[in-house]
Structure 1
Amino acid sequence: MIANLLDLVTYYEGQIASRKLDKTLGLKNALTLYAMAEGETISAETSLSQKLIHVLQGNLDLEVDGQVLNLTEQGMLTIPADASYSLKAVTNTKYYILDL
């Protein structure tokens, strides 16, 4: 059991913190929690699996196959398999990504 996801990762200026949760929760699919300091980015990547992104706190710009979308607190989005995506924290942002 996890009581509060927000307490599991901490913001660090100029850094991205992450914590894998799939083993803790007994999941077969990867689940990773992130804390991105304002202005931090993750450059474009692709995945063989579909992904679910859920913003828990903050504001995240997400570019998927050239289309820029903005996710705010409690916003969710699925990214299709084989799609190119990148991320930028508009503000300090905590979110998780679940491989589907």
Structure 2
Amino acid sequence: MNNLIKNIEFSNILNLKDLVSYQEGQVISRTLAQTPAVNITLFSLDKNEGISSHVTPGDAMVQILDGTAEITIGDNTFTVKEGETIIMPSNIPHALQACEKFKMLLTVIKN
């Protein structure tokens, strides 16, 4: 059987924020699914770490699982906290910065 979801237990209750750990001075990622149409990745970012401005060919949904992030989309900057979600539209520059260490689930959907 070829599962589309990987690096995660099946048929088990899990807390997503427990599946990726913080590491000092680093950005850590764990890919859960990667197809031509969908990417699902867990991230943890230590305080003051970030992901520089870039564009993606698909819409990206960020769900903050722990902590607080500053997310810039185009010319607008948003403070996004645990339990909150923001959509970063395709082909618009966006960046993320850790105000404090944070964890997120990133889902990118492409045409």
TM over 0.5: yes
Uncovered stretches (5+) of structure 1, i.e. residues with no partner: none
Distance 2:17 2:66 in 1: 8
Q: Does 2:95 align with 1:77?
A: no
What is the rounded CA distance, in whole Å, between the counterparts of 1:96 and 1:6 in structure 2?
9
What is the number of equivalent residue pairs in this alignment? 97
Structure 1 match to 2:47: 38
Counterparts of 1:12-51 in structure 2, within 5 Å, are 12-22=23-33, 29-51=38-60
SS in 1 for 2:17: helix
* SS of alignment partner, residue 11 of structure 1: coil
Letter in 1 for 2:81: T
Q: Which has the higher helix share?
A: 1
**Is 2:15 the partner of 1:4?**
yes
Alignment RMSD: 1.5
**Scaled by the length of structure 2, what TM-score is found?**
0.82
Larger Rg: 2
2:5 is matched with which residue?
none
Q: Which moved more, 1:50-59 or 1:28-37?
A: 28-37
Give the Å deviation of 1:6: 1.3
Offset of 1:29 from its aligned partner? 1.2
Q: How far apart, CA to CA, are the structure 1 residues paired with 2:53 and 2:39?
A: 19
Separation in structure 2 between the aligned mates of residue 59 and residue 78 of structure 1, nearest angstrom: 16
Equivalent position amino acid for 1:72 in 2:
K
Query: 1:72 Cα shift?
Result: 0.4
Q: How far did residue 54 of structure 1 move?
A: 0.4
TM-score using structure 1 length: 0.91
Matched residue type, 2:88 = I
Once residues 60 and 78 of structure 2 are traced to their aligned partners in structure 1, the CA distance between those partners, rounded to angstroms, is 15
Gaps of 5+ in 2: 1-9
Query: Residue type matched to 1:63 in 2?
Result: T
